[in-house]
Amino acid sequence: YSAFDKMREQIDRIASQIDFGTGGEHEEVIATYKMFAYDEGWSRRINEAIDSGLTAEAAIERVQQRTRMRMRQIDDPLLADRMHDLEDLSNRLLRIVSGQMSTAAQLGLKRDSILIARNLGPAELLEYDKRRLRGVVLEEGSLTAHVVIVARAMGIPVLGRVRGIRHKVRDGDMLLLNADDKSVIVRPSSAAEEIFQHDLIDRQKKKARYASMRDAASVTTDGVPVTLMINAGLRDDMSALATTGAEGVGLFRTEFQFLISATLPQRERQQRFYRDVLDAAGDKPVIFRTLDIGGDKVLPYLKDEASEEENPALGWRALRLSLDHAGLMKAQARALIEAAAGRTLNVMFPMVSEPWEFDAAKAIFDGQIAFLNKQKKLLPNKIRYGAMLEVPALAETLDILLPKINFLSIGTNDLTQFLFAADRADPRLAERYDWLSPAILRFIRRVVKATEGHDVDVAVCGEMGGRTLEALALIGVGIHRLSITPAAVGPIKAMIRSTNHSDIRAKMDELLNAPTENLRESLTAWANSQGIEIG
């Protein structure tokens, strides 16, 4: 009976006590975490260090230090998350061998506590009493961090990347945490507390209003419908279809499943996952985007191949990588086709730069269909194909592409970085170019014009569509479909239901034909004068 056994027992016990629903992505996180706990390589390295004469404590520390050093050289948030899992396990092991069994969690929490930490592992979080824990503030952590995913499943607000917070807060201090606004106030003045309370009530009112609009139609005051769909990528996200009343998933980022997994998801596992997603969507359509990896989304198990690139955003990513890795794409195509047997399958390819790339990608799907047909397998009733327009070059060849596709989705996140030649991940550039710029809006207006006369749905699926003023401008240049983050559905619907379609069309033409430097200001003033709800 070793310390390893004891640690594994603890992990198994924690995992089995999880009581916030099954079938969520947090289960995959826990599974990955467990996999580390049972990792033979890790325990062997520690045992070898002990055999070389170190004490158990020193051996654990040494192995952890080496791992840390190796991982530090890799600049990858997902690997960093796995590193935190390992740190969590190492600390647990250390506590066991040093006989110091209790953790902070076991000391108990006072009521309405906010937990402050440098970082947390998912299992550490699970040890806390969820009824007393009101929030978590971490100095590290990111949106994709495992602990954040688990916290979300537990319904606990988390704020990550708050540098230096541990030194500013003493035990027992009052904190005001607003995870939506990414703010935390330490030892608030009574004025600040009052504002916070007001704000909270305001938010709750708004939330209630948005919730009451769930089943209301998304149409303008002059009766023009605007289809609202959501962006998703995790199984947990699918419940947002019901809570928001969205009409479908306009962008399902399939790479998320690959990113949270420690090893390449095999075809059968992908197929089960896609089928679960379709089941969860019921009658509503789901547009699956094929793998968009590379660039900033590097898979640890493909790491060796993605050699260091000078400009990863312009590099070997998305469809480019998939076409060179036909095996990967074939497996995904087969999994998607099998998962959608007897239903409609919507597939979309990312980063299409030239129409021939679309042809090549579709040929892979055609090949899988022919194969499954020969095997007399049940196929989807219908397959609809689409492309993302996020590389500006594609706009110049739409006449060739449009007859081949059923839908086009404008990815404004990448599109803007390419139009302005401004890295979307560079914080110094984040505020520099406005989505409400003549360049972007004229570009999109031109794309919409090019699609006239073709039987192709045009949508916007970047973050831009989830902001009220930006969405208003998009509707003004002829967009009738938005795929947005679930939290934005309510505010965007409220905006649409207070907008007159022909007025915004005319206004946008006016603003774009003779632009001023600050389009945002002009549009805001106009929207307010029209009584449009822009939040």
Residue 265 or 411 with smaller CB distance to Mg ion? 411
Stretch binding Mg ion (CB under 5 A), from 106-114, 281-289, 388-396, 487-495: 388-396
Residue 124 or 414 with smaller CB distance to Mg ion? 414
**Is residue 386 a contact point for Mg ion (CB under 5 A)?**
no
**Is residue 491 a contact point for ligand PEP (CB under 6 A)?**
no
253 binds, among Mg ion, ligand PEP, none (CB under 5 to 8 A by kind): ligand PEP
519 within 8 A of 474, measured Cβ to Cβ: no
**Is residue 294 a contact point for Mg ion (CB under 5 A)?**
no
Residue 25 or 463 with smaller CB distance to Mg ion? 463
How far apart (Å, rounded) are the C-alpha atoms in residues 149 and 158? 10
User: DSSP letter at 219?
Assistant: B
**Is residue 28 a contact point for ligand PEP (CB under 6 A)?**
no
**Is residue 292 a contact point for ligand PEP (CB under 6 A)?**
yes
Cα dihedral across residues 78, 76, 390, 329: positive or negative: negative
How far apart (Å, rounded) are the C-alpha atoms in residues 456 and 444? 15
First to last CA, the chain: 60
How far apart (Å, rounded) are the C-alpha atoms in residues 493 and 527? 15
- Identified binder of Mg ion from the candidate list 122, 135, 265, 411, rule CB under 5 A: 411
How far apart (Å, rounded) are the C-alpha atoms in residues 413 and 448? 18
How far apart (Å, rounded) are the C-alpha atoms in residues 214 and 207? 11
How far apart (Å, rounded) are the C-alpha atoms in residues 113 and 133? 5
Q: How far is the CB of 158 from ligand PEP (least distance, A)?
A: 22
**Is residue 430 a contact point for ligand PEP (CB under 6 A)?**
no
**Is residue 461 a contact point for ligand PEP (CB under 6 A)?**
yes
- Identified binder of ligand PEP from the candidate list 26, 92, 146, 253, rule CB under 6 A: 253
| Both tokens assigned to 282 | 């019921």
**Is residue 122 a contact point for Mg ion (CB under 5 A)?**
no
- Which amino acid type is present at position 249? V
Residue 224 or 313 with smaller CB distance to Mg ion? 313
**Is residue 463 a contact point for Mg ion (CB under 5 A)?**
no
Residue 83 or 391 with smaller CB distance to ligand PEP? 391
Q: How far is the CB of 292 from ligand PEP (least distance, A)?
A: 5
Q: Which residues contact 291 (CB under 8 A, 6 or more apart)?
A: 254, 255, 258, 318, 321, 322, 328, 329, 332, 350
Q: Which residues contact 27 (CB under 8 A, 6 or more apart)?
A: none
Q: How far is the CB of 433 from ligand PEP (least distance, A)?
A: 15
Stretch binding ligand PEP (CB under 6 A), from 58-66, 105-113, 336-344, 411-419: 411-419
Residue 24 or 294 with smaller CB distance to Mg ion? 294
In the bound state, the residue with its beta carbon closest to ligand PEP is 411
How far apart (Å, rounded) are the C-alpha atoms in residues 26 and 24? 5
**Is residue 413 a contact point for ligand PEP (CB under 6 A)?**
yes
Strand order in the sheet with 113-117: 113-117, 133-138, 158-159
Residue 289 or 362 with smaller CB distance to ligand PEP? 289
286 SS3 class? strand
# of chain residues touching Mg ion (CB under 5 A) = 3
Q: How far is the CB of 432 from ligand PEP (least distance, A)?
A: 18
Cα dihedral across residues 385, 277, 291, 293: positive or negative: positive
| Both tokens assigned to 324 | 């060179």
Task: Express the helix, strand and coil content of the chain in percent, nearest 5 each.
Answer: 55, 10, 35
| Both tokens assigned to 190 | 């009574």
**Is residue 122 a contact point for ligand PEP (CB under 6 A)?**
no
- Identified binder of ligand PEP from the candidate list 411, 465, 476, 486, rule CB under 6 A: 411
How far apart (Å, rounded) are the C-alpha atoms in residues 259 and 401? 30
228 SS3 class? strand
355 binds, among ligand PEP, Mg ion, none (CB under 5 to 8 A by kind): none
**Is residue 7 a contact point for ligand PEP (CB under 6 A)?**
no
In the block, tokens 């060179």 appear at 324
Q: How far is the CB of 391 from ligand PEP (least distance, A)?
A: 10
Q: 409: exposed, middle or buried (C-beta count within 10 Å: 0-12, 13-18, 19+)?
A: buried
Q: How far is the CB of 68 from Mg ion (least distance, A)?
A: 32
| Both tokens assigned to 22 | 């099954």
Ramachandran angles phi, psi of 152, nearest 5°: -60, -45
Q: For the window 414-453, what string marks contact with Mg ion as x by the rule CB under 5 A?
A: x---------------------------------------
Beta strand pairing status for 382-389 and 407-410?
A: parallel
Stretch binding ligand PEP (CB under 6 A), from 36-44, 304-312, 405-413, 449-457: 405-413
Residue 418 or 526 with smaller CB distance to Mg ion? 418
Q: Calculate ∠ Cα 302-305-307, nearest 5°.
A: 120
**Is residue 462 a contact point for ligand PEP (CB under 6 A)?**
yes
Residue 380 or 462 with smaller CB distance to ligand PEP? 462
In the bound state, the residue with its beta carbon closest to Mg ion is 414
How far apart (Å, rounded) are the C-alpha atoms in residues 393 and 405? 17
User: DSSP letter at 323?
Assistant: H
Q: How far is the CB of 354 from ligand PEP (least distance, A)?
A: 18
Q: Which helix (H) or strand (E) holds 52?
A: none
Q: How far is the CB of 273 from ligand PEP (least distance, A)?
A: 18
**Is residue 255 a contact point for Mg ion (CB under 5 A)?**
no
Residue 412 or 468 with smaller CB distance to ligand PEP? 412
Q: For the window 146-185, what string marks contact with Mg ion as x by the rule CB under 5 A?
A: ----------------------------------------
The residues of the shown chain that bind ligand PEP, judged by CB under 6 A, are 251, 253, 292, 390, 411-414, 461-462
The residues of the shown chain that bind Mg ion, judged by CB under 5 A, are 390, 411, 414
